[in-house]
Structure 1
Amino acid sequence: MVKAICVLTGYLRAFGVVRFELNEGGYLTIKGEFSGLPPGKHGLHVHSFGDITNDWISAGPLYIPTNKMQGMQQDKRHAGDLGIVNTSEDGLAKLDVAVSHFHLTGIHSIIGRTLVLHQNEDDSGKADKEESITTGSNGSGIAWGVIGICQSNISEEVLEENN
């Protein structure tokens, strides 16, 4: 079974490890742990390219495999959105979601694309401005990394080494 992992680094001491695995129901299970983040809610998105030569900016636009825009996907999220990472006052956060619109193989594979944790909460396209429709008004990236094929679930060990 294909598994994927993404190690995110970025500004300040932002760090995260996110694991991806297909569950028995056909959903992609996404679990992550983060540290060194500013407190609050942060949008988490898959971006189109696995290019981080200019930090998160060179990763391109949000990856939208079905060409559906903001607010048109299940749970009132756009296809590139993986939800909200709610960070505590000590800069720690966890993520545990399951989605059906991303895959680790085939035409909608996210392997080789960039995962970006943004400074603001995604507004799900509800704000009265164009940016809300295309990006969720989530702001700059604070941590990012390229999603790659994983040999095993080593993320807990990697996270412990970086704290």
Structure 2
Amino acid sequence: MIVRALLTAVAFVALATNCAVAQTAKAAVKNADGATVGSIDLTQVSDGVLVKLAVKGLPPGEHAFHVHAVGKCEPPFTTAGGHFNPGNKKHGMMSTEGHHAGDMPNLIVPASGEVAVEVVNTGVTLEKGKPNSLYKPEGTAFVIHAAADDYKTDPTGNAGGRIACAVVE
């Protein structure tokens, strides 16, 4: 009976250590008034980080959505620094030299001002200690811009001002 209990315990521990727990993170999206207007849920996946964004109260239209290099969101959100660019690439998903790790597709916000999207950013990771980790010493932030990213103009894509920001926790 004791041997069976020990074997069961060993099997349970072996099973538990082989179960991969996905790395996750969250970020509260705030507008320039400091009000929370949404959330970002991040999950490490095999080819990058799954970014789930849900926001409300944004102006309708097309808006750039980027990862920025500093985990600070003080209005007007310039404290978030430039785009997250650990590979020292050019800006723009259409750049022939490769793009910033922080470059992501534009958001299309309908008249309601509410949008929910899921996108995998293959240029970043949640694994600490890696050069492209969202957990760097200065932190990182997600920023929504006033205008659309043209996907080619370095360094910002002519995306305009910053209207919302979220620090990765």
TM normalised by structure 1 equals: 0.77
Aligned length: 141
Structure 1, 87-96 or 9-18: larger mean CA deviation:
9-18
Flag the 1:99–1:73 CA change in 2: closer, same or farther, 3 A.
Answer: farther
Flag the 1:41–1:136 CA change in 2: closer, same or farther, 3 A.
Answer: same
* Counterparts of 2:167 and 2:126, CA distance in 1: 13
Question: Which residue of 2 is the match for residue 118 of structure 1?
Answer: 145
Determine what percentage of the aligned residue pairs are the same residue: 28
Structure 1, 2-11 or 68-77: larger mean CA deviation:
68-77
Residue identity opposite 2:67 in structure 1: V
2:126 to 104, 121, 129: 104
Residue 77 of structure 1: how far off its partner (Å): 5.2
Summarize the alignment of residues 70-149 of structure 1 with structure 2, pairs less than 5 Å apart.
70-71=91-92, 78-105=100-127, 106-111=130-135, 112-125=139-152, 132-148=153-169
* Counterparts of 1:73 and 1:107, CA distance in 2: 23
Residue 85 of structure 1: how far off its partner (Å): 1.2
Is 1:22 the equivalent of 2:44? Answer: yes
Question: Which residue of 2 is the match for residue 49 of structure 1?
Answer: 70
Contact 2:89 2:99 in 1 (8 A): no
Flag the 1:51–1:27 CA change in 2: closer, same or farther, 3 A.
Answer: closer
Superposition CA RMSD, Å? 2.3
* Counterparts of 1:28 and 1:34, CA distance in 2: 19
Gaps of 5+ in 2: 1-21
Question: Which residue of 1 is the match for residue 10 of structure 2?
Answer: none
Contact 1:31 1:94 in 2 (8 A): yes
For the pair shown, the structure with the greater C-alpha radius of gyration is 2
* Counterparts of 1:85 and 1:133, CA distance in 2: 19
SS of the equivalent of 1:86 reads strand
Residue 70 of structure 1: how far off its partner (Å): 1.6
Residue 36 of structure 1: how far off its partner (Å): 0.2
SS of the equivalent of 1:20 reads strand
Structure 1, 113-122 or 65-74: larger mean CA deviation:
65-74
SS of the equivalent of 1:82 reads coil
Residue identity opposite 1:71 in structure 2: G
